[in-house]
Chain A
Amino acid sequence: AQSVTQLDSQVPVFEEAPVELRCNYSSSVSVYLFWYVQYPNQGLQLLLKYLSGSTLVKGINGFEAEFNKSQTSFHLRKPSVHISDTAEYFCAVIFTGGGNKLTFGTGTQLKVEL
């Protein structure tokens, strides 16, 4: 079965600390991988994506993610978070052969504290 899992529903972190948000997927076909951020009462904004090539992907706002095929993971990282990073983060996957349908994980609420 094809699925996307974000095990951490909430991640609290202090400002300027590093953070990692985890994403795992299950698939028998190749995938395209995405991380989106959603601020309260806003739409989704693309942080970064992996389509092919280098497994380390850099995105906006200082975020990066690494595709690990053997572990079927695409964890999002930032070396030093800011208060303004407080938001909901969604990992999403397109399973090839399924058109352009995004399958989202359940989201991780990142709360950055002073």
Chain B
Amino acid sequence: DAMVIQNPRYQVTQFGKPVTLSCSQTLNHNVMYWYQQKSSQAPKLLFHYYDKDFNNEADTPDNFQSRRPNTSFCFLDIRSPGLGDAAMYLCATSRGSSGKYEQYFGPGTRLTVT
């Protein structure tokens, strides 16, 4: 089945220690998104890629970076995690950037910062 895969499902990192979360997709979608979802809150868009074009949300902290080396993979790098960065990180994909295209979500990676 075509899907969005996130690894690892659970990640523990230390305060200030860089961490990378990964997302892959077999849907061959053009657009990939990263959302942050804190406990009991709605998902919040951090940034997205349309093909290789990177689009950062205005309020995404500089501590968060992303890479998309090819169509299938997208990475979220947190350069110096703080305790406030503990959250579920959701990757999503869509075929295009129009609102008519459904976003497909991965299962998420739960990040714990100690």
Contact = CB atoms under 8 A, between A and B. Distances in A.
A36 B92 CA distance: 13
Given A41-B110, A100-B94, A46 B43 contact: no
A86 to B, nearest CB: 16
A65 to B, nearest CB: 15
A43 B42 contact: no
A63 interface: no
B108 interface: yes
B103 A43 contact: no
A32 B41 contact: no
B99 interface: yes
A25 interface: no
B99 A100 contact: yes
Nearest to B91: A43
Interface residues of A, number: 22
Interface residues of B, number: 30
A41 B103 contact: no
Interface of A: 32, 36, 41-46, 49, 51, 90, 94, 96, 98-102, 104-107
B102 A46 contact: yes
Given A101-B45, A102-B45, A107-B42, A41 B100 contact: no
Contact of A100 (B43, B98, B105, B107): B98
Given A43-B90, A99-B99, A106 B41 contact: yes
Nearest to B108: A43
